[in-house]
Amino acid sequence: MAMDNTTSYSGLVNQGNLPDKPAPINTEGLGPWVRDNLFNGAFNSVLTISSFLLVLYTLPSALNWLIFNAVWSGGSDACRVNPDGACWTFVGSRWEQFLYGFYEKSERWRINILLAILAVGIIWLAWEKAPAKKLMAFFMLVIFPVFSFFMMYGSETLGLPIVETPQWGGFTLTLVIALSGIVASLPLGIVLALGRRSNMRVISLLSTIFIEFWRGIPLVAVLFMATIMFPLFLPAGVTFDQLLRAVIGVALFASAYMAEVVRGGLQAIPKGQYEGAMALGLPFWKMMRLIILPQALKIVIPGIVNTFIGLFKDTTLVLIIALFDLLGIVQASIADPNWSIKSVPYTGYAFVAIVFWICCYSMARYSRYIEDKLHTGHKR
């Protein structure tokens, strides 16, 4: 029976081998990669070729100017001879001023110590597995600012000669303004964020007005107010240092942005956390301190870092009120007649751009990294 079946269907069963199928289109290696990623379709090919030409046109000349054709040694004469390359000797001969401003030469070790502590503190806090992080955070946010003030400004009792703030400048001043702005704005921002979400109508209204006012005006206006209006607001006889006024302005400005960042974090905490804390009978501040804020602040770390990046870049605006931060001091050095060479302004700007870029980009990468770590949802 079975045999019969086989024979009757034998015409439908293939006896020999089928001819080989064509090989699959290669998906490995450079050629296919170029085809899939650069030349899939006419439109993409045109895009690829035109952007390749763009790169070909800009990249070699940029690299030549920055590195290969640049002047790396010699004085201003070397730059005068070669105007078609960056004049890095200009930065080389001025780097101390760019870093320390007009700070007394004999007292610059004080800044060096502070920079070293700052570097250690930042690495400590950014490094995840570091021990005693809470202690370190407390040190960096509370003790270090006070310590730095006495180190920078000086104190007779400690035997450190006083260095007046008009002598501060350069990258140090940039750091002073940005760091004190962020350290002061963090607690203020938290209070404002809590105020805005408060059930007390008046407090929430006042916080909202404060936040929206500072967010609605440009930082230049804040700095102008700090220089021109601030002395009018104070009782006669009371004067404030110009730098301190600018820092207060920057801190108030930053606190409004910080408040919005923190508010985002507070809103992201599920209501059950609040209700749970209340059910346990925790008073408001204990609930905030022990339950809500630790969670909320953790998820807004990227936001805080981003606010800091914005603030860090915005410190350059102080040059408008005649404080010499990094950009201000480079701008002033460019005008030096000894260095009136065609390539010097470009070099100066390029140098400031590189410094800011490195700082901001590394902070942005860190914030991205934290964000990715916190973001455990579905990703594609």
Partner 1 sequence: MRPFLLPTESRMANNNSPSSAGVAPAVSFWRDPDKRAIIYQVIVVSVIAWFVYSIINNTATNMEQRGLASGFGFLSTSAGFGIISTPFVPYTEESNYFTVFLVGLVNTIIIAAIGCLFALALGFVVGIARLSSNWLVQKIAIFYIELFRNIPLLLQILFWYSAVLKPLPGPRELHEAGEKVFFSINNRGMIFAEPVGQPGFENVWYTFFAAIIVTWVIKKWANARQMKTGQQFPMFFVGLLLIVGAPLITYVLTGRPLDFEPAQMSRFALQGGVTIIPEFVALLLALVIYTASFIAEIVRAGIQAVSHGQTEAASALGIKPTHRMRLVVVPQAMRVIVPPLTSQFLNLTKNSSLATAIAYPDLFSVFAGTTLNQTGQAVEIMAMTLAVYLTLSLLTSGFMNWYNSRIKLVER
Chain residues that interact with partner 1, rule: CB under 8 A: 37-38, 40, 44, 47-48, 51-52, 54-55, 199-203, 206, 213, 215-221, 224-225, 228-229, 231-236, 278, 281-284, 287, 309, 313-314, 316-317, 319-320, 327, 331, 342, 345-346, 349, 352-353, 356-357, 360-361, 364, 380
User: By C-beta, is 105 or 380 nearer to partner 1?
Assistant: 380
Inter-CA distances, 133 with 77, 125, 129, Å: 51, 6, 9
Distance CA(281)–CA(291), nearest Å, equals 12
User: By C-beta, is 147 or 208 nearer to partner 1?
Assistant: 208
Backbone angles phi, psi at 71, to 5 degrees: -95, 120
User: By C-beta, is 113 or 353 nearer to partner 1?
Assistant: 353
Nearest distance from C-beta of residue 354 to partner 1, angstroms: 9
User: By C-beta, is 196 or 314 nearer to partner 1?
Assistant: 314
Please name which of 275, 221, 226, 278 lies closest in space to residue 247, comparing C-alpha atoms: 226
Distance CA(25)–CA(194), nearest Å, equals 61
User: Which residue reads 């895009």 in tokens?
Assistant: 47
Contact indicator for 325, 64 with CB cutoff of 8 Å: no
Nearest distance from C-beta of residue 231 to partner 1, angstroms: 7
Nearest distance from C-beta of residue 286 to partner 1, angstroms: 9
What are residue 377's DSSP bridge partners? none
Opening angle at CA 122, ends 118 and 126, nearest 5: 175
User: By C-beta, is 144 or 210 nearer to partner 1?
Assistant: 210
Report the SS3 class of residue 45: helix
Nearest distance from C-beta of residue 193 to partner 1, angstroms: 16
Q: State which H helix or E strand residue 342 sits in.
A: none
Retrieve residue 96's tokens. Answer: 């101390």
User: By C-beta, is 15 or 199 nearer to partner 1?
Assistant: 199
What are residue 71's DSSP bridge partners? 87
User: By C-beta, is 71 or 140 nearer to partner 1?
Assistant: 71
Backbone angles phi, psi at 160, to 5 degrees: -100, 120
What are residue 168's DSSP bridge partners? 101
Nearest distance from C-beta of residue 18 to partner 1, angstroms: 34
User: By C-beta, is 243 or 318 nearer to partner 1?
Assistant: 318
Nearest distance from C-beta of residue 229 to partner 1, angstroms: 6
Report the SS3 class of residue 300: coil
Nearest distance from C-beta of residue 378 to partner 1, angstroms: 9
Backbone angles phi, psi at 23, to 5 degrees: -60, 145
Nearest distance from C-beta of residue 51 to partner 1, angstroms: 5
